[in-house]
């Protein structure tokens, strides 16, 4: 595994290997066992969007692995003033051992990987959020003891999270239901890929029937970073797509609820449902640290 650009690039075996390593790294951290697998290595972290979890977990994770993380805000980099990604990639490859990037276009991440010669990790684009999904799968396996055969239901915008979750969950053997309003379906290439899994995948419009028999219900914000100006329009479009008590009634009694966070209580999820599932949601946030450490070890050591 050379980079982590999107879930589509990973084989099922690679996903499971990352999850196994993440479990091991979590155990080592909790038990005070040194795990400085990236001693002396440097990770540049380019952020063109805000972040709490991704920034802090990568930075802390790199430190715990014995390496050195550099936070690179696009406000300060020449990339923010128009220096081409091709040149940035070639320059940073001379200094660093790896790059994590959060940006808008997926192509920018793919170009960094193409023109540079160091590993690139996607820390979120408008198209994908693979680091989040690896932490999500890790959390689901911790709670359910398995992944294969579980019923996974995503309710909301067919966005970067819906894309990466659908692909990742199908690859590990889950049955995936996406519940999205017609005008907010995922990208065609994602739907085409998911449809190759036959009846393990469906996309529907009604949250109540979509949530039937779910083992995991997942939601995300209605307006992602960069879509703030559409927030009011989206609130109207997603009316009826809230994860609330009525939706939860349809799911299995031991259904987990996950959210990548940040959450907008009273919009995509009620306060009541979020707080009833706070244990798994904040374990999920913690697991960003362990899953990303596993990714860094896989691509950088």
Please list the active-site residues.
102, 129, 132, 220, 260, 288
Nearer to ligand NVA, 7 or 300 (CB): 7
> Which residue reads 């009273």 in tokens?
266
Q: How many CB atoms lie within 10 A of CB 281?
A: 21
Is the Cβ–Cβ distance between 75 and 65 less than 8 Å?
Answer: no
3-class DSSP assignment, residue 131: helix
52 contact choice in ligand CP, ligand NVA, none (CB below 5 to 8 Å, kind-dependent) = ligand CP
Residues that bind ligand NVA (CB under 6 A): 124, 159-161, 220-221, 224-225, 260
CB nearer to ligand CP: give 53 or 200: 53
Kindly compute the dihedral angle of the four CA atoms of residues 204, 205, 209, 210, in this order, to the nearest 10 degrees. 50
Position among 124, 137, 150, 176 found at the interface with ligand CP (CB under 6 A): 124
Among 203, 258, 260, 294, binds ligand CP (CB under 6 A): 260
Q: Which does 290 bind (CB under 5 to 8 A by kind): ligand CP, ligand NVA, none?
A: none
Q: How far is the CB of 173 from ligand NVA (least distance, A)?
A: 25
Q: Give residue 6's Cα distance to chain centre.
A: 9
Q: CB 186 → ligand NVA: shortest distance, Å?
A: 12
**Shortest CB 125 distance to ligand NVA, Å:** 8
DSSP string, 246-287: HHHHHS-TT-EEEE-S---BTTTB-HHHHHHTHHHHHHHHHH
Q: Where are the alpha helices (DSSP H) in 173-230?
A: 188-195, 207-210
Q: Is 42:17 a contact under the CB 8 Å cutoff?
A: no
In the list ligand NVA, ligand CP, none, the entry touching 287 (Cβ below 5 to 8 angstroms by class) is none
51 touches ligand CP (CB under 6 A) = yes
Which span (52-60, 74-82, 193-201, 264-272) binds ligand CP, by CB under 6 A? 52-60
């Amino acid at each position: 595994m050379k980079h982590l650009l999107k879930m589509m690039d990973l084989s099922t075996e690679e996903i499971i290997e990352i999850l196994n390593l993440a479990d091991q790294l979590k155990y080592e951290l909790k038990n005070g066992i040194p795990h400085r697998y990236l001693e002396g290595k440097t990770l540049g972290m380019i952020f063109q969007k805000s972040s709490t979890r991704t920034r802090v977990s990568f930075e802390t994770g790199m430190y715990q692995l014995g390496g050195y993380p550099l936070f690179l805000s696009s406000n300060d980099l020449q990339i923010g003033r128009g220096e081409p990604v091709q040149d940035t990639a070639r320059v940073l490859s001379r200094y660093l051992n790896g790059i994590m990037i959060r940006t808008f276009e997926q192509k920018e991440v793919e170009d960094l990987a193409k023109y540079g010669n160091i590993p690139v990790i996607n820390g979120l684009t408008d198209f994908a959020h693979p680091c989040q999904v690896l932490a999500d799968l890790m959390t689901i396996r911790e709670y359910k003891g398995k992944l294969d055969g579980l019923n996974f239901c995503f309710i909301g915008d067919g966005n970067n999270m819906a894309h990466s979750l659908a692909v990742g969950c199908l690859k590990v053997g889950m049955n995936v239901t996406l519940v999205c309003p017609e005008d907010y379906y995922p990208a065609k290439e994602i739907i085409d890929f998911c449809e190759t899994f036959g009846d393990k995948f469906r996309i529907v419009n009604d949250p109540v029937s979509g949530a039937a028999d779910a083992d995991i219900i997942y939601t995300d914000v209605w307006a992602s970073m960069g879509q703030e100006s559409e927030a009011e329009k989206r609130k109207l479009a997603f009316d009826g797509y809230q994860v609330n008590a009525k939706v939860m009634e349809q799911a299995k009694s031991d259904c987990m609820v996950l959210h990548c966070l940040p959450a907008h209580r009273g919009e995509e999820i009620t306060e009541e449902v979020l707080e009833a599932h706070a244990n798994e949601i904040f374990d999920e946030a913690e697991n960003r640290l362990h899953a990303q450490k596993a990714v860094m070890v896989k691509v950088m050591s």
